[in-house]
Amino acid sequence: MATSSSTPATATQRSLAERFDPKTLAALEGLDFKARYIMEGFLAGLHESPFHGFSVEFSDYRDYQPGDDLRHLDWRLFARTDRLYTKRYLQETNFRFYVVCDTSASMAYRGSQAWGSKLEVARLLAAALTWFLLRQNDAAGMVTLERETEAPEFIRPSQRQTQLGLVLRRLEALRPAGGARLARLLEHTVRLIHRRSVVLFFSDLLEPSESLAQYFKQLRFHGHECLVFQVLDRDELEFPFTDARIFEDLETGQRRIVTPAAARDRYLAGFNRFMTAHQELFRSLEMPHCVVRTDADPWRALALFLAQRKRLK
Amino acid sequence: MAFSFLNPWLWMGALALAAPVWLHLRRRVETNRLLFSTLRFLDDSPRPRSSPLRLQDVLLLLLRALALLLLVGAFAWPYLQEASRLVIRESRVYILDNTLSQQAANRFTQDRERLVTELTRAGEDIQIAVVELTDQPRALVALSDSREDARRRVRAIQPSFRRGAYLAAFRMAQSLLANSLGERKRIVFLGDSQANQWKENLTTPPFLEQVEVELSRPGASNAPNLALSEAQWQRIFLGDKALLQLGVNLACSSPASNATVSVRSGQETIVTRSVPLAGQPGIVALQAQWEAAPGRWLQGEVTVAGEPDALAADNRVYFTVPPVREGKVALLAQSPYLRLALSPEVMRGRWAARVLDPTRLDGEADAARQAEVLVLESSYLQSTEVRTLVERYLNNQRGVFLVVNRLGLAAGAALRDLGFEVGRPGQAKPEQPERIEYFVSNHPIFRPFLSADYGKLLDITIAQPQRIKPLEGMALLFSSSGEGLFFQGTRFPGRLFVLGFGLDRGQSSWPSHVSFIPFLDLCLQNARPGETTPLDYEPGSTALVTPPPDAAVKEVVLRDGQRELRRSPVVHGKAQVRLPDQPGIYAMSYDNAPEPERFISVNPNPKESELTYLEAPEALKLWKLERQGRAADQVALGSPARISRAAMLEQRIWWWLLVAGMAGLLGEMIWTQLRPQHP
């Protein structure tokens, strides 16, 4: 399944777009406020609440012990057998989600029309989804790379309320650094996630799809569900430059003298081939893929996520 | 001002010139650059050149080239213009000895005139500095000062009465030469080369590197001299008489057969006497004694006259004596003689004794109640409280006079704690009474007993002396068998005197001897805490004065007669008063009080009177640092292929070229900012 931001907006989506104001978002200090603002604004626009009750299921009995909650006593059984039993319940098993965020140097790019750099947008989306997941009693964890050494930084999934602060602190500490480090991040993700989980993957994917394909395949092979949020800037999608300039690669430091009028067609052709290759890859692996533009509202990405979660339920 | 590296304006200017260079380097950012996510879709675009040159930048290129050309020319200039440069051939530091000994045979004036002459004669290719040698040497003339200034400052120096510090002066000269430009570095010592000065510095590690030293020759190995020094006084009370005993040392290295010594106190001449010098040792101890009112300050001087005498400035020594201050004595003794000797009837005005109750010694822990001296008998040392009290007195720098009348186990242990060893109990005591046979006559307690006025100590008999041996201390009085009878301990900060026998008729005949009261008085005077501020200083030294804390003194005023010399502020309860360079008697008072608080004497250091000279001092050889390959270095310095760093730095045009180069870079930066930017 693949969606694209270029599909026509529905009336609901237009309403949601009015809610999203980058200036208001910028005025909110702290990632937790921004995450809540984004997610609550999004949920308020939906007709059907995505939250579902926390149900419990009866498991068995055990002998009453002094100090046990009297509400869980089975009075009927007491009437029948004249003995006190306490009911035990089996808690509903929720999902384990992992936020995997790419911090390659290319994620630092911010176009003139964008409301944030690619990493900032990915960070905000990840924070909003984490907030939502923890409210749903799902377990949320995280995998990133350490800035200097590229060692993995792993947060074990948990349902505790303190988990939100832990993830948000790590998200706020993310800084773009180094060259292409996406393949290494995927390699660590495959190695660190053992139990069946849902992986929310945030990246610009500006690396050859062949080098990434093996790791995505391994993730699927291990039974993980993957949602890929590809964060791209308008400049990368449309190449709107006009003046001749020296372009310098954020990851490799290479330089080229580019005359946009002459290079635009070649660039767009190459970029579309690149996108098509990725879409083919994700379609073959049955991985939902969503392009998030840094100059647009994030509702599409959130809607994709909710749809997938409902499907997993 | 000369254009050289020693000029501080040069360094400030160099820092200012570095600013445009730094700005230039910092502003080298490309305004036409765009950081983009990836260039993988733009691989076929051309690569930019690392330093693009365009036609419209020719002017900029020329400006840069000119700046670089000037910089290169600046660095090459010393090699190109070596023939026309002004070479500093020699850097020379004169050390002008301005100590008291230099006044002998008018040597200081001669050396000063020689220095002025050499300052006039020396050419422009010689750098000259002058260090004045006193106890605190100073650079009187720097290497960069003009000759006229140098001559004026040297002529202004007046002879001083200070002691010198040869080592410090040579170190200062070495540091001046280390920063000099001359290829040859030389120290010329204009002094008398006093032997005692050189010998004081024989252990100093070498520090004179690549420096030649020239000593002015004194002409003889020593000079005849008569000198007075180290005036010591003591107030002695003999019956109703209050006496002042004054001692001075007469140093004689002169062939004179007689010297006339005169003692004056205030306006009165006490004594004038001719002292025969033939057959006397090098230092003669002279003593004078006269009645002096105990309640007021005494000021006076001792002078000597004789021929031949090369140094007249050391023929006078000044002294000041403070009035008697009644001391406090705490008494723990049963001896009726001791109690009577310290009673008000005998010691009124000098010592106020308070008899302690041995059962109530807890109150003595209060420091305010402590006396200056504790007098006790050893029989009380059995008490723990008494032993603690003794230690407290000694640790608080107060005095203890211990009479060992009885020696038990506890007293023996206490004496060991005080630094004395006692004989074994079974050791035989002499059957016959012993006499005092020897005493240390130069100790302040026994010096007065050289005179027969106080009775003969040798007449005193000791019946039962205790066997005491000092472990940390010294014996001052000895019996005919050589055993010590009276000791001074040195283990504690306070002064401890131990008498090795009791003061009862059965143990000694001393209590009934005429010398007993003066002896006891002298012991107590020496045992009491000394004056915190001395009364005698060297010229030019600094006195640390501590006014009484309850007086709220703001300034200490130093006066010479009625003339006020200087005021020193009191900071944190202390004032640092710099004393005059001239010997004499000066008064100190607090704030604007009309009456002086104290009088002090300023006398030259007696070592300056030792007019013995060395022509080739050993210390000077030890100070020189010899290194291998030095000769080769000197050859290389003189060769035309290599120019010394000093010669390079001295090039004036070199600096102007550097300035022009830097200005060119500054102009380039401005041009870069003003020219139109490319898209």
Of B88, B102, B259, the residue nearest B192 (C-alpha): B102
pLDDT band at B534 (very low <50, low <70, confident <90, very high): confident
The alpha-helical segments, DSSP class H, found in A89-181 are 118-135, 162-172
Same domain, A227 and A78: no
Same domain, A245 and A262: yes
Structure tokens at A1: 């399944």
Please answer yes or no on whether A206 and B38 come within 8 Å at the CB atom: yes
Degrees to nearest 5, angle at CA A265 with A259 and A268: 110
- Pairing assessment for the beta strands B184-190 and B226-238 based on DSSP bridges: unpaired
Of B127, B191, B166, the residue nearest B623 (C-alpha): B166
B205 alpha-carbon distance from chain centroid: 21
- Would you state the pLDDT for residue B604? 93
The pTM assigned to this predicted structure is: 0.54
Which carries the bigger pLDDT value, residue B85 or residue A292? A292
Mean pLDDT in residue range A298-309: 76
Please answer yes or no on whether B42 and A267 come within 8 Å at the CB atom: yes
Q: How far apart are CA B54 and CA B52, in angstroms?
A: 6
pLDDT digits (tens, 9 = 90+) for A63-106: 888 888 888 888 988 998 888 888 876 555 567 889 999 999 99
Please answer yes or no on whether B39 and A249 come within 8 Å at the CB atom: yes
Which carries the bigger pLDDT value, residue B449 or residue B82? B449
CATH of residue B562 = 2.60.40
Q: Which residues of A touch B45 (CB under 8 A)?
A: 247, 256-259, 263
Same domain, B190 and B129: yes
From B321, B352, B375, give the residue that closes a domain.
Answer: B321
Is 70 exceeded by the pLDDT of residue A250? yes
Same domain, A126 and A64: no
- Would you state the pLDDT for residue B86? 62
Which carries the bigger pLDDT value, residue A291 or residue B15? A291
Residue A101 belongs to a domain:
yes
Same domain, B181 and B102: yes
Same domain, A170 and A253: yes
Q: Torsion over CA of B633, B636, B638 and B644, rounded to 10 degrees? A: -80
Range in A122-131, B409-418, B426-435 the model is least confident about: B426-435
- The amino acid at residue B339 is R
Same domain, A165 and A64: no
Contact B540, B579 (CB under 8 A): yes
CATH of residue B281 = 2.60.40.10
How much is the CA Rg of chain A, to the nearest whole Å? 23
Contact B343, B513 (CB under 8 A): no
Which carries the bigger pLDDT value, residue B445 or residue B85? B445
Listing DSSP states for B313-378 in one string gives TTSEEEEEEPPP--EEEEEE---HHHHHHTSHHHHTTTEEEEE--TT--GGGGSGGG--SEEEEEG
Please answer yes or no on whether A257 and B41 come within 8 Å at the CB atom: no
Structure tokens at B206: 């070498």
Residue A16 belongs to a domain:
no
pLDDT band at B302 (very low <50, low <70, confident <90, very high): very high
Residues 44-63 of B with CB under 8 A from A: 44-48
Q: Torsion over CA of A102, A108, A109 and A113, rounded to 10 degrees? A: 100
Same domain, A102 and A164: yes
DSSP H or E stretch at residue A182: helix A182-192
Residue B67 belongs to a domain:
no
Q: How far apart are CA B330 and CA B400, in angstroms?
A: 9
pLDDT band at B83 (very low <50, low <70, confident <90, very high): very low
Same domain, B601 and B475: no
Please answer yes or no on whether A109 and B39 come within 8 Å at the CB atom: no
The total number of structural domains in chain B stands at 4
- Would you state the pLDDT for residue A8? 42
- Would you state the pLDDT for residue A3? 40
DSSP conformation class of A92: P
Same domain, A174 and A285: yes
φ, ψ dihedrals at A283, nearest 5°: -65, -40
Degrees to nearest 5, angle at CA A89 with A84 and A95: 170
Mean pLDDT in residue range B161-174: 92
φ, ψ dihedrals at A224, nearest 5°: -80, 145
How much is the CA Rg of chain B, to the nearest whole Å? 38
Distance from CA of A100 to the nearest CA of B (A): 20
Is 70 exceeded by the pLDDT of residue B13? no
Same domain, B311 and B352: no
Same domain, A78 and A218: no
Which residues constitute the domain of residue A170?
Answer: 94-312
- The amino acid at residue B487 is F
Q: How far apart are CA B128 and CA B141, in angstroms?
A: 8
Range in A138-142, A302-306, B512-516, B594-598 the model is least confident about: A302-306
Is the confidence metric ipTM above 0.90 for this complex? Answer: no
Same domain, A86 and A98: no
Q: Which residues of B touch A256 (CB under 8 A)?
A: 39, 42-43, 45-48
Question: Best-predicted range by mean pLDDT among A49-58, B25-34, B40-49?
Answer: B40-49
Same domain, B295 and B399: no
Q: How far apart are CA B173 and CA B264, in angstroms?
A: 44
- Would you state the pLDDT for residue B634? 45
Q: How far apart are CA B496 and CA A6, in angstroms?
A: 106
Contact residues for B319 (Cβ-Cβ < 8 A; gap 6+):
B231, B233, B246, B298, B299, B300, B301, B302, B536, B601
Same domain, B577 and B429: no
Interface list for chain A against chain B, based on CB atoms closer than 8 Å:
106, 108-109, 118, 204, 206, 233, 235-236, 241, 243-252, 254-259, 263, 266-267, 270-271, 274
Is 80 exceeded by the pLDDT of residue B366? no
B64-88 b/e with 16+ CB inside 10 Å = b? bebbeebbebbeebbeeeeeebeeb
Residue B156 belongs to a domain:
yes
- Would you state the pLDDT for residue B3? 47
The alpha-helical segments, DSSP class H, found in B512-651 are 516-527, 618-623, 630-638, 645-649
Which residues constitute the domain of residue B111?
Answer: 90-222+612-632
Q: How many CB pairs under 8 A join A and B?
A: 77
Alpha carbon distance, N-terminus to C-terminus of chain A: 17
Q: Which residues of B touch A247 (CB under 8 A)?
A: 34, 36, 39, 42, 45
Q: How far apart are CA B497 and CA A1, in angstroms?
A: 109
Residue B30 belongs to a domain:
no
CATH of residue B465 = 3.40.50.880
From A41, A68, A91, give the residue that closes a domain.
Answer: A91
A255 alpha-carbon distance from chain centroid: 33
Degrees to nearest 5, angle at CA B40 with B35 and B43: 95
Of B25, B51, B31, the residue nearest B677 (C-alpha): B31
- Would you state the pLDDT for residue B653? 74
Same domain, A138 and A285: yes
Residue A46 belongs to a domain:
no
Contact B491, B211 (CB under 8 A): no
CATH of residue A98 = 3.40.50.410
Residue A9 belongs to a domain:
no
Q: How far apart are CA B250 and CA A2, in angstroms?
A: 117
Residue B14 belongs to a domain:
no
Per-residue CA distances from B161 to B101, B134, B610 (Å): 8, 9, 14
**Which of A235, A246, A270 is closest, CB to CB, to B33?**
A246
Chain A residue with the nearest C-alpha to that of B37: A106
Adjacent-strand bridge partners of B208: B624
Same domain, A66 and A149: no
Is 90 exceeded by the pLDDT of residue B475? yes
Structure tokens at B177: 């030469």
Q: Which residues of B touch A118 (CB under 8 A)?
A: 37
- Pairing assessment for the beta strands B373-377 and B399-403 based on DSSP bridges: parallel
CATH of residue B193 = 3.40.50.410
Residue B56 belongs to a domain:
no
Mean pLDDT in residue range B172-178: 91
Same domain, B347 and B418: yes
Query: Please, what is the average pLDDT of chain B?
Result: 83
Same domain, B361 and B309: no
From B510, B527, B544, give the residue that closes a domain.
Answer: B527
- Would you state the pLDDT for residue A52? 46
**Residue to test with chain A: of B31, B44, B45, B677, most A Cβ within 10 A:** B45
**Which of B40, B45, B679 is closest, CB to CB, to A263?**
B45
DSSP conformation class of B210: S
Contact B509, B358 (CB under 8 A): no
Same domain, B436 and B519: yes
Residue A77 belongs to a domain:
yes
DSSP H or E stretch at residue A87: strand A85-91
Indicate the burial class of B114 (C-beta count within 10 angstroms; 0-12, 13-18, 19 or more). middle
Q: Which residues of A touch B36 (CB under 8 A)?
A: 109, 235, 247-250
Listing DSSP states for A220-265 in one string gives HHTT-EEEEEEEE-HHHHH----S-EEEEETTT--EEEE-HHHHHH
Same domain, B494 and B415: yes
Is 90 exceeded by the pLDDT of residue B317? yes
Structure tokens at B186: 């030389």
Residue A189 belongs to a domain:
yes
Residue B130 belongs to a domain:
yes
pLDDT digits (tens, 9 = 90+) for B207-246: 888 899 998 866 667 888 899 988 888 888 877 788 898 9
B613 alpha-carbon distance from chain centroid: 22
What is the percentage of chain A residues whose pLDDT exceeds 90?
A: 26
Same domain, A150 and A239: yes
Residue A39 belongs to a domain:
no
pLDDT digits (tens, 9 = 90+) for B557-585: 999 988 899 999 999 888 999 999 999 99
Same domain, B355 and B405: yes
Structure tokens at B648: 């390079």
Please answer yes or no on whether B37 and A244 come within 8 Å at the CB atom: no
Hey, CA dihedral for A280, A285, A287, A292, is it positive or negative? negative
Residue B334 belongs to a domain:
yes
- Would you state the pLDDT for residue B425? 53
Please answer yes or no on whether A257 and B46 come within 8 Å at the CB atom: yes
Hey, CA dihedral for A75, A78, A83, A89, is it positive or negative? negative
Same domain, B542 and B520: no
Residues found in chain A: 313
By the CB < 8 Å criterion, does B22 face chain A?
A: no
Structure tokens at A220: 């699927």
Residue B637 belongs to a domain:
no
Contact B163, B610 (CB under 8 A): no
pLDDT digits (tens, 9 = 90+) for A217-242: 999 888 888 889 999 999 999 999 98
Degrees to nearest 5, angle at CA B375 with B371 and B376: 130
Of B187, B189, B182, the residue nearest B90 (C-alpha): B182
Distance from CA of A273 to the nearest CA of B (A): 10
**Which of A204, A257, A259 is closest, CB to CB, to B37?**
A204
Structure tokens at A123: 């960070």
SS3 content of chain A, % helix, strand, coil (to 5): 45, 20, 35
Residue A15 belongs to a domain:
no
